[in-house]
Structure 1
């Protein structure tokens, strides 16, 4: 099973630039074209939050138009830049979409790997939260299929990255998530967005990884007095490849056209 993870496209209204600098719409369109051209064709695309930049209706209208070009089934969760009800309207009719409340759901009919989406966003806030209710819901959902390979998708990562201007906006009470996941060894990955960088660590007895953005990269500044900054680096995605006997292998994939292929390996 092949699962693409795209994150943080920060779609803007037509003609508007992200932060007045970057054509995030063009970059997301290029990411969609890249996914459509993959061979073999992926089974699923995960969109791990911050689909738009300001939660505006015009941004969601543009997002809906852009997603029409995607030829692979999609699962999505909101991020801190999303507006939950506008998000819900874009995906109306999708069988995985809850009618109300957090965008929490589980999908197990797309292939070998079950996807569990955990909406940790808080309205009007940039940090996330694993509430006691969310942890209990996740525990129950994971217990329902204890032997099924599973990925948990969320937006804000529940750990300190070491980037001082990002860590105040992490997902709080991550110990609740770690405690739940530790009881369910079928969880192959926890996948997040939000930080516009690829990171990985051990968490709750499994592997947690964050996806790069299709738009910009948050600067990797680890000094405690570092000032916020971003770079226009090559956009990228993650490709999660499940194989029986191997398990889940995660690839970092730059998006774009590069020299090659050359006849050597």
Structure 2
């Protein structure tokens, strides 16, 4: 009988912070920065250790140096390695300039024991929709082909499978089929995790598990035809990666409700 205890890596995913230029600025009736801090504080209070913090885009709502600097300060205070991806609201060039420390950066490939994290940029400049350039797809293919003995977690901002929310699914990764075809060619590709949808998702495409994570601020109501906010609290996702390729994951949300959320969305 094998009594070996299977070790695991623990990743914290946060997403869609929508941080504003001013410390006290309000977006859709709420202070997004307050909830970003509250979610981070809860995650570290309720978990003993994270090997990595993964921030999957829409980090700033109106990107500028001062907001990214404040985000950097909070992430560095965790004393945990942090990888940041761009969302459609972000300025990726500015992100790369500011998130450029030993601890907090925009690395696209990270090795953690016998796992590799592959980070993809799904931005289409000037559009809220997602897409993966030929360069991004080639990068993904190379990472998977060159390291067949490493299980792979792929992180990207936009979603690659439909959410059943008609308005959100107009912004799905435009070449999702090509993206998923690559992952299915490589059995070590175990999981794709994304932001953007401001709600929970946990479904499979073949053997690949697809995860969507709630925002650290406001949520979108699932299965809605038009843009509709939800009163569900902000949250975070913990992803545990086991050396045999298994994955465990769960969502935790703040116990406090959003205060002052503006349910009517004139322009998102």
Answer whether TM exceeds 0.5 for this pair: yes
| Per-residue deviation, residues 207-252 of structure 1 (Å, max 9, x unmatched) | 1111110101101244xxx331112321111111123457111112
1:15 equivalent to 2:29? Answer no
Report SS of the residue matched to 1:114. Answer: strand
* Paired residues of 1:190 and 1:207 also in contact (CA < 8 A): yes
Q: How far 1:96 sits from its partner (Å)?
A: 8.7
Structure 2 match to 1:198: 200
Q: How far 1:189 sits from its partner (Å)?
A: 0.5
Report SS of the residue matched to 1:175. Answer: helix
* Paired residues of 2:122 and 2:157 also in contact (CA < 8 A): yes
Counterparts in 2 of 1:125 and 1:134: CA distance versus 1, 3 Å? same
Name the CA distance, whole Å, in 1 between partners of 2:142 and 2:226.
Answer: 41
Moved more, 86-95 or 212-221: 86-95
How many residue pairs get aligned? The number is 248
Moved more, 190-199 or 159-168: 159-168
Name the CA distance, whole Å, in 2 between partners of 1:85 and 1:73.
Answer: 20
1:250 equivalent to 2:246? Answer no
Structure 1 match to 2:181: 179
Counterparts in 2 of 1:246 and 1:171: CA distance versus 1, 3 Å? closer
Aligned ranges 1:1-265 → 2 under 5 Å:
1-12=9-20, 13-19=22-28, 21-94=29-102, 105-108=108-111, 110-203=112-205, 205-222=207-224, 226-245=225-244, 247-256=246-255
Name the CA distance, whole Å, in 2 between partners of 1:71 and 1:182.
Answer: 35
| Per-residue deviation, residues 109-153 of structure 1 (Å, max 9, x unmatched) | x34421110111122111111223321221011111112111000
| Per-residue deviation, residues 64-109 of structure 1 (Å, max 9, x unmatched) | 2322322321111010010111111221234895xxxxx672100x
* Paired residues of 1:47 and 1:75 also in contact (CA < 8 A): yes
Structure 2 match to 1:100: none
Counterparts in 2 of 1:96 and 1:73: CA distance versus 1, 3 Å? closer
Structure 1 match to 2:266: none
* Paired residues of 2:87 and 2:196 also in contact (CA < 8 A): yes
* Structure 2: gaps (5+ residues): 1-8, 258-268
Counterparts in 2 of 1:148 and 1:89: CA distance versus 1, 3 Å? same
Name the CA distance, whole Å, in 1 between partners of 2:99 and 2:134.
Answer: 27
Name the CA distance, whole Å, in 2 between partners of 1:112 and 1:145.
Answer: 10
* Paired residues of 1:128 and 1:169 also in contact (CA < 8 A): yes
Name the CA distance, whole Å, in 2 between partners of 1:96 and 1:72.
Answer: 8
* Paired residues of 1:181 and 1:204 also in contact (CA < 8 A): no
Name the CA distance, whole Å, in 2 between partners of 1:191 and 1:159.
Answer: 11
Counterparts in 2 of 1:32 and 1:112: CA distance versus 1, 3 Å? farther
